[in-house]
Amino acid sequence: MGTISTSMQLLHWLPRFFHRHKSIDFLCKAGLQEKISEINFNNGSRAIVDLSDPEPRNVFIQHEFEPHFFDIANALMPKDGTFFDLGTNVGFCSFGLVPDRPTSSYHLFEANPHLIKLLEQSIDLHPDQEFTLNHVCVSDSTGKTRFHLEPNQSGQSHVSTKLDSGIEIQNLLLDEYCDNKGTDSVDFAKNDPANNDLNSDAVSGFVATTGIKPKSPKSGLNIT
């Protein structure tokens, strides 16, 4: 696993006035701020992000990510529940749950290899929690999927619409995954259809291959 240098973290010392998109982008390009940095959000949550990416950079600036999501998740998910994060991106939903659900188990599913590297480092920040990271494209069919990588904005990466574009990512069916893991119940699931599958086949993979309805999540949210 990689580690984050503390030498080029200028933003942690600058006044909040400089925590703006153009200022952060300039500092990163000038080599005065590490692009790959640990950030804090939602009063105690931690993650490793790429500050050159505008979406996680906005969370750094605002110190907040989708508070209503956590209101709903914490209301519906038991303290020792099982959370499936489909289309994890940088993991704000998973790592944001940890302060209130430290004994839950977290299953992360992400297709973007750049984000996988960031997620590995974020998981290292949480040695006492149970995380399972899967570099896959969640689908309702076996095989592989071509995935288009958007280098400047990871949240815009998506399943390729052309057969000759993108990189190949191994598909994963959630019912089979649950069988292999011995997971009988998923208490809460977040699905990011834009990041995961253009046709939202990820969720149908809970039941399409086995027909075992109890393995479908008891509750969940789509994040777009």
**Residue 167: per-residue pLDDT:** 86
Whether 94 shows a pLDDT value over 80: the answer reads yes
Question: Where is mean pLDDT largest: 158-172, 176-190, 204-218?
Answer: 176-190
- pLDDT at residue 206 tops 90: no
Say whether pLDDT at 149 is over 50: yes
pLDDT above 60: residue 165: yes
The string of DSSP codes covering the chain is: -----STTBGGGTS-GGG-SHHHHHHHHHTTSB-SEEEEEETTTEEEEEETTSHHHHHHHHHT---HHHHHHHHHHS-TT-EEEEES-TT-HHHHHHTTT-TTSEEEEEE--HHHHHHHHHHHHT-TTSEEEEEESEE-SSSSEEEEE--TT-GGG-EE-SSTTSSEEEEEE-HHHHHHHHT-----EEEE-HHHH-TT-HHHHTTTTTT--GGGS-SSEEE--
Confidence of residue 85 (pLDDT cuts 50, 70, 90): very high
Question: Has residue 24 got a pLDDT over 50?
Answer: yes
Mean of pLDDT over the chain: 81
pLDDT at 199 exceeding the cut of 50: no
In this prediction, residue 6 carries a pLDDT of 41
Structure confidence at residue 136 as a pLDDT band (50, 70, 90): very high
pLDDT at 27: 74
Note the pLDDT tens digit of each residue in 25-73.
777 777 777 889 999 999 999 999 999 898 999 998 899 999 999 999 9
Q: What mean pLDDT comes out for the span 106-114?
A: 95
**Per the confidence metrics, is the pTM higher than 0.85?**
no
Domains of the chain: 10-62 (no CATH), 67-222 (3.40.50.150)
